[in-house]
Amino acid sequence: MASEWCIGIIGGSGLYNIEGLEDEQWIAIDTPWGDPSDEVLCGTLNGVKVRFLPRHGRGHPISPTELNSRANIDALKRAGCTDILAISAVGSLREEIEPGRFAVVEQFIDRTMHRDSTYFTSGFVTHVSMADPVCERLSEMAAKAITACKGKVAVGATYIAIEGPQFSTRAESRLYRQWGADVIGMTAMPEARLAREAELPYALIGMATDYDCWREGESVDVAQVIAQMQANGELARDMVAKFIAGLPKKRKPSPIDTALDDAVITAPDEHDPAVLARLDAVAGRLFEN
């Protein structure tokens, strides 16, 4: 397993670039799943390889439902990423996660409906565990980086992913609070599922921009979200730099690196070669022998 870090950064709304990269270059990466959201910005930061992908593309042309998350994760894997730190604008479902606070996500509730959510189809049926959907190691380091930047942080948050692109109704927002969700967004699923299938440790930092619409008399609009995103943006960039600077010199193996070892259920003589060909980046290590 890789002993050298190569960090994939997925930038959410308002984060379309990474500052301070050395030898930076935008590189187009082809995948069997179609086009990723944008080219991948490759470079180094504090001596660590970094691969940055703006989730919605530069200028935000791609809607949540139309994101090609399979291509995005595949492209980062092809670019050599060992781990992924994702950043996303979120609405808050808790009074104590006020706009401007960052939330380190621990769990997900998936309410998306129209998205391709797996790499594994008939011919290579695979069931990965999503009981603990994020990497504890990355999450802890991200929380420390936020604190080091004087940012406010909540840890252990549950993120509910909705289809969008509309914001929630009040009834929905209040229901999600009853379900135990802490923050709400439109993009982290199936992204987190696909990262696990690609054996990439994944952490998600939510930047709270608003209180959704569960509070009496309040609602959320794009102008409010954009204003808070701009306020959060500098801290997010500083957090990424602190996160990178705080990485251990050597990367120790993660159990997520081998998440597929006990996940494949299709017998070898039933493997579909056409399906396997598309999995060369995501699961290629399983076919090396």
Task: Locate 268 and state its tokens.
Answer: 């070898």
Band (34; pLDDT cuts 50, 70, 90) = very high
191, 69 Cβ separation under 8 angstroms: yes
Annotated catalytic residue 212? yes
Say yes or no to pLDDT of 39 above 90: yes
Say yes or no to pLDDT of 154 above 80: yes
For residue 115, CA distances in Å to 107, 112, 199 come to 19, 7, 20
Q: Is 181 helix (H, G, I), strand (E, B) or coil?
A: coil
Catalytic residue among 110, 210, 238, 261: 210
The structural architecture, per CATH, of the domain 87-287 is: 3-Layer(aba) Sandwich (3.40)
| pLDDT one-digit tens code per residue, 270-283 | 999 999 999 999 99
| pLDDT one-digit tens code per residue, 199-254 | 999 999 999 999 999 998 888 877 777 777 777 778 888 999 999 999 999 999 99
21, 45 Cβ separation under 8 angstroms: yes
| pLDDT one-digit tens code per residue, 109-138 | 999 999 999 999 999 999 999 999 999 999
Contacts of 166 (CB under 8 A, 6+ apart): none
Catalytic residue among 83, 110, 182, 212: 212
- Please tell me the predicted confidence (pLDDT) of residue 2: 63
Least confident of 2-16, 144-158, 170-184, 206-220: 2-16
- Please tell me the predicted confidence (pLDDT) of residue 182: 98
Annotated catalytic residue 83? no
Band (67; pLDDT cuts 50, 70, 90) = very high
Task: Locate 150 and state its tokens.
Answer: 């004087």
Task: Determine the average pLDDT of the residues in 95-104.
Answer: 96
282, 193 Cβ separation under 8 angstroms: no
d(CA 38, CA 29): 9
- Please tell me the predicted confidence (pLDDT) of residue 10: 97
